[in-house]
Amino acid sequence: MSRIGVITSGGDCGGLNGVVKGAAQMAGRKGLSAYAIPNGYAGLYNLITMDELVELSPSRLDSFSIGLAGSEAGHSRVKIAKIKDERKYERIKEGLAKFGIDALVISGGDDTGSVVADLAGRGIQCVHAPKTMDLDLVPYSVGGDSTINRIAEFVRDLKTTGRTHNRIMVVEVFGRYAGHTAFRGGVAGEADAILIPEIPVDFNELYRHMKKVYTKRIIESDINAGTYTVVVAEGIKDASGSELYDDSAGVDPFGHRKLAGAGKYVAQELQKLLRDDDDIKQFM
């Protein structure tokens, strides 16, 4: 083995340039050359048509910013199995042979991982570096830490705005059907309530807690100011087990239903309870 290719695939997140840089640096220590295969699996499929690849040399790696989101290798939301070409795997192997690529380091989430398994099953040497902001693939993955910190930062920043206007703040975050990032980010951001898919939402209990905390803060404030912050994971369910989302959001390029609208649903349910509560309306 003398050359490896590095691919990033799926959605963007923090840490991807760290994967590309780390893979290339480790390859260098092992006496191997590393090359970026651009634009994810679309680039892998079209490798045979390319004239050259960017070598991930030490000087090229120096230009990488690993503290920001994005990938110098580029992305695409393409699943090899869905490409309508009977020779697609032969085409990929021909492209790898053209550039002398012996193995691949591929960073992506569960869809990306399924393609890694597919490629490996057809004799292409691959290593999968798990990447998912949702933390629903393995206990820790690329993107998770950045996501948790951003959620926490955003929740903390909203507190002053909420307090200025005596607002109830509802923050919807992603995670699909896992509440890991919502929970950890919400705890770090000191949210007052965190709603996750693993625990059905009891709106009466949520409202009871909100009313108690919100009114106490305003009464005890020397300027009559208070707020209450709810972090909502996108895949939450109500007490009956029904998913709370906007069914007009459609699907993503991989055919997964977009779980948008949970935060809006929670806000609307709280507003319904607020309308009939004169005790709390006086503070808003």
Residues with catalytic roles: 134
Q: How far apart are CA 273 and CA 108, in angstroms?
A: 42
What is the side-by-side strand order in the sheet with 193-195? Answer: 168-173, 228-233, 193-195
Task: Assess contact for 228 and 169: CB atoms under 8 A.
Answer: yes
With beta carbons less than 8 A apart as the criterion, state whether 16 and 145 touch.
no
